[in-house]
Chains A and B, each alone.
Chain A
């Protein structure tokens, strides 16, 4: 199993590098924190968007998470990889925001998510596929959604995702499996229809 293999040399170097960056950021070096933010902006925003759907809300949640991480940097254990530590904060921030949002208002369902509608050209087809995927993703349970995004989009292993979601590795495997099955059916239907 790939999950059980020791991390490759590059990963160890990256981990050391990030531990240094964190130490420098804790010491008040703004540039070091800036490098960490740049490095993790993409994945943090994608994970937040997987939870929240709305890009503006997702960016707000990702930003809150980054700032929360800055405040908590001293609690980070440099012997562990930085990414999962940060992404746990991101996932929690996005989940909290979604809960607050759910209390605040009831979101209408996205329009334009009609499956099997007319598809006049490739751009429209791609857009429609994206919308269907987004809808399918939104229909997945939240934990399953984050698991499949971290695994298939971000390339994290099951073992790395487990602490992010706070669940056992076996449960991560199961979540990824069920999410993939649902999303692959959607993609397959689309290809067959096309």
Chain B
């Protein structure tokens, strides 16, 4: 047999056929069916993985949303904040809400005299 050329780019059909015979895997149909059946399981598993991957941030996000919503609702329904308590000076300086009637004031002044 002739020594092959080092840069021979053509396939050697005799050798190729002999090797093909050695490596022949037989009927492809059962193999294909097996792969496709497993592929279905992989798809299901990958969906599960996607859901699992999203589950943790999803739960965290839901928790944050519910806490925020609770806070906002609670704040809206709670009593308004208590008014700032006036100091003594404020009370003394501030004009009375219902000034006394002039006749009563005068009568009391006259009565004293």
Contacts and interface: CB of A to CB of B under 8 A. Distances in A.
Q: Do A and B bind each other?
A: yes
B30 to A, nearest CB: 9
20 contacts: A2-B10, A38-B32, A45-B31, A46-B23, A49-B25, A50-B23, A55-B26, A66-B39, A67-B35, A71-B46, A126-B21, A129-B18, A130-B18, A152-B12, A153-B19, A153-B20, A158-B9, A174-B6, A180-B4, A184-B15
Interface residues of A, number: 49
B15 A1 contact: no
A37 B36 contact: yes
Contacts of A185: 1
Interface stretch (A8-16, A57-65, A76-84, A88-96): A57-65
Contacts of B8: 177
Contacts of B43: 28
Contacts of B12: 152, 180, 184
The A contact surface, by secondary structure, is helix
Closest 9 CB pairs of A and B: A45-B25, A188-B1, A152-B16, A46-B23, A41-B28, A133-B22, A2-B9, A66-B35, A49-B23
A129 B21 CA distance: 10
A63 B19 contact: no
B32 A34 contact: yes
A148 interface: yes
